[in-house]
């Protein structure tokens, strides 16, 4: 019997806009100017995922978006010397 696995995207059911720039700049301490080329398409204004399948398995998000970005950036700072191209 062959099992077919499909990916389960993990994200809390709260809506997250595609523009996370304020969170990223706050976490990284960036205080420069950010400009967007408004003549280019920027994708969907929001992306919602159905987490019904995950919820039915008993999973709930334990990390907020901001916490996840903070943890990822901290990991990057601690490990950037091990990354290729740095």
The dihedral over CA atoms of 21, 83, 81, 86, expressed in degrees to the nearest 10, equals -80
> What's this model's pTM, rounded to 2 decimal places?
0.63
Instruction: Name the nearest CA neighbour of 47 among 77, 21, 7, 18.
Output: 18
- Phi, psi of 68, deg, nearest 5: -65, -40
Q: Where are the domains of the chain?
A: 21-26+50-86
Q: Residue 9: CB partners within 8 Å, gap ≥ 6?
A: 49, 51
Segment 3-62, tens digit of pLDDT? 545 555 455 555 555 568 889 999 999 999 888 788 988 776 666 778 888 889 998 888
Distance between CA atoms of residues 69 and 78, nearest Å: 14
């Amino acid at each position: 019997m062959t099992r077919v696995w499909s990916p389960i995207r993990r994200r809390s059911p709260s809506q997250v806009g595609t523009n996370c720039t304020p969170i990223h700049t706050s976490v990284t301490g960036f205080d420069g100017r950010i400009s967007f080329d408004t003549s280019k398409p920027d994708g969907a204004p929001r992306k919602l995922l159905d987490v019904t399948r995950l919820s039915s398995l008993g999973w709930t998000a334990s990390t907020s978006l901001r916490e996840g970005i903070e943890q990822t950036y901290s990991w990057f700072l601690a490990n950037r010397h091990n990354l290729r191209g740095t």
